[in-house]
Chain A
Amino acid sequence: GEEVAQTPKHLVRGEGQKAKLYCAPIKGHSYVFWYQQVLKNEFKFLISFQNENVFDETGMPKERFSAKCLPNSPCSLEIQATKLEDSAVYFCASSQGFLNQPQHFGDGTRLSIL
């Protein structure tokens, strides 16, 4: 598609439950990036993919967070055993190249942990 599509728009989970977020990048874009926006405007890089391969995972918490980009499927970000501090808006972005190319963002998934 012509836009990055993220689902669901809003996800509510009880503390300790699993949360799974999805992202369909723009067709033809090889790179996918995930960011976490916790406080207003504070973006934190989590992980990036080049097609289905992890490209940079330096921002991913060591435990509980995992992500995949499989062929012919939306990319996913999964959080096991969610904590209150995981409440945030999670943005996915895609780009044609990894440098010097603008990243195009989806509208995010708002994750609320109760």
Chain B
Amino acid sequence: EDQVTQSPEALRLQEGESSSLNCSYTVSGLRGLFWYRQDPGKGPEFLFTLYSAGEEKEKERLKATLTKKESFLHITAPKPEDSATYLCAVQAGGSSNTGKLIFGQGTTLQVKP
């Protein structure tokens, strides 16, 4: 069964304290891995897509990497405005090859000034 697991569930950082969020996945033929940011009361906001192991994407203080089993979202020198829930989702191949996203449980990040 296709599955996505994120860790930790919650993370508290001081402003400027870099860290990484983990997304482990088990899918039948990865078609794409997506990172989203979700603020309270809002829908997920797209951040990155990664397609193959070794791929990396960067945007401001965020950098996403991908291996054959997991993805990391690295946050460098975070600011309070980076506080949000970060969601990882995958698109699987095989019989699930219809584009639906399989989400992890998310990591709620709080950055204190």
Contacts and interface: CB of A to CB of B under 8 A. Distances in A.
Interface of A: 4, 6, 31, 33, 35, 40-43, 45, 48, 55-56, 58-59, 91, 93, 95, 97-108
Given A48-B98, A48-B100, A102-B49, A4 B105 contact: no
Nearest to B38: A41
B44 interface: yes
B99 to A, nearest CB: 3
A105 B32 CA distance: 17
A95 B38 CA distance: 18
23 contacts: A4-B43, A35-B101, A41-B38, A41-B85, A41-B103, A41-B105, A42-B103, A45-B100, A45-B102, A48-B98, A48-B100, A56-B100, A58-B100, A98-B99, A100-B49, A100-B51, A103-B46, A105-B44, A105-B45, A105-B46, A107-B41, A107-B42, A107-B43
Interface residues of B, number: 27
A49 to B, nearest CB: 11
B106 interface: yes
Contacts of B32: 99-100
